[in-house]
Amino acid sequence: MKTRILVVDDEKTITDLVGIYLKNEGFEVTLAYSGADAVNLIMSQEFDLAILDIMLPDIDGFELLRTIRADHTYPVIMLTARDAQADKIEGLSLGADDYVVKPFRPLELVARAKAQLRRYTSYGSRDEVPSSHIISVHGLEINPEAHTVTVDDKPVRCTPIEYSILLYLAENRGRVVPVEDLFRAVWNEEFMQGSNNTVMVHIRHLREKIGDDAQNPRFIKNIWGVGYTIEG
């Protein structure tokens, strides 16, 4: 089956152009030009990735992101005409995986979509054989083969990026992982201005899911000015 991508933007020219580039890469693409149409598609169809414009005339991209994250963990890339850090932090806090500022080059967006899909495909490939290499730390268990996370035997549903962060920290438990190293390992990109906020927001979201108190952490500890650690 072809990988299915949803593209939502009220600027028809942009939406159609992105759709053409993605289709040329072999993806099955569904286009929506309003938030209302997008909601109907999100609720009625299955996708592997969504590209959402923030500034829509009816239902904004943040609300669409909330709708997706209520039931789905597939990657979401946000589009915006404003290079506003507040918008980026809000999107990441709601579970967005990437953020592209307009105007952008279609090929750049396609590359980012492919990168997110590679992570999601890896995360989503379940192995039915129980792993003998489960990572267990203070009631937190990560099964790298089945790509599952539990806390005190209760399942935790993570996005691919959240899972990658948790797995990387757990694999390096007992040592402090610098923020720069964590960003490069998870995002596979060079660390730039603003990357620290990106990591921080995802860590905060992850802590909420695993029931970790930032002030008195059970799992992920922040070593100020250095990075993060999960103690062995």
Distance CA 6, CA 76 (A): 9
The architecture (CATH level 2) of 4-124 comes to 3-Layer(aba) Sandwich (3.40)
- 128 or 35, higher pLDDT: 35
Which residues does residue 31 pair with via DSSP β-bridges, in sequence order? 7
Q: Are 149 and 135 in contact (CB under 8 A)?
A: no
SS3 167: helix
Q: What is the mean pLDDT of residues 88-117?
A: 88
Phi-psi category of residue 35: left, alpha or beta, with phi > 0 → left and psi -120 to 50 → alpha: alpha
Distance CA 142, CA 54 (A): 34
Give tens-digit pLDDT for 129-155: 344 578 998 899 998 877 889 999 999
In the DSSP assignment, the letter for residue 140 is: E
Predicted pLDDT at 41: 97
**Radius of gyration in angstroms for the set of CA atoms belonging to the chain, rounded to a whole number:** 18
What residue ranges do the domains of the chain occupy? 4-124, 135-230
Give tens-digit pLDDT for 77-101: 999 876 666 777 778 778 888 889 8
DSSP letter for each residue of 108-131: HHHHHHHHHHHHHHHHH---SSPP
Give tens-digit pLDDT for 63-77: 999 999 988 989 999
SS3 34: coil
Let me know if the fold of 4-124 is the same as that of 135-230. Answer: no
Is the entire prediction scored with pTM above 0.75?
Answer: no
Give tens-digit pLDDT for 32-82: 999 999 999 999 999 999 999 999 989 999 999 999 998 898 999 999 876
Class of domain 135-230: mainly alpha
Mean pLDDT (the chain) is 88
Q: Are 174 and 231 in contact (CB under 8 A)?
A: yes
Predicted pLDDT at 134: 86
Predicted pLDDT at 128: 40
Q: Are strands 154-155 and 148-151 parallel, antiparallel or unpaired?
A: antiparallel
Q: Are 58 and 34 in contact (CB under 8 A)?
A: yes
Distance CA 88, CA 100 (A): 9
